[in-house]
Structure formats: structure tokens, C-alpha cells
Amino acid sequence: MALFGLLKEKCNYCRKPIEKGKEVSAEIKIPGYTGVFKKDFCSQEHVDAYKKEVNTVKKTTGGSCCG
């Protein structure tokens, strides 16, 4: 029965399994990708912490001819 723990949805911030029906969905930006994506978190605090972390990521320019 340990296999069922592997199939549970996990929090995108702390990676702990989330109980069915208790997930908090949010549309978030993922660094390196364009647009926003719907992801699940275990609490609103983790949504806020993830958004804060993404916004503080240092922007760097590439070494290519275009950036």
C-alpha cells in the first residue's frame, strides 16, 4: 500500500503530499517559462512564499547575440 503515497499530489513549495480536497490552487509564474501555470500547494502561506521567492530571483541576461 506504500505505492499510493507516491501517487498523491505534492505541494510545489515543500514537496509534502497534500490530502485530497485540501489543496490550494494558484496560478504561478515558473522561472524560465512564459505565462502562468496552475499548481497546487498545501497552504496559502506556501503560495505567498513561492511567489515571493520567484519575484526575488535575480534577472540575468544570456550571452547570446539577442540577450
* Domain boundaries, given as residue ranges, for the chain: 27-56
- Distance, in Å, from the CA atom of 20 to the CA atom of 8, rounded to the nearest integer, reads 8
Q: Name the DSSP class of 17.
A: B
Average the pLDDT over 2-12 and give the result: 72
Q: Kindly report, residue by residue over 19-46, the tens digit of the pLDDT.
A: 888 999 999 988 888 999 999 999 999 9
Which amino acid makes up residue 57?
V
Residue 58 pLDDT greater than 90, yes or no: no
pLDDT at 64 over 90: no
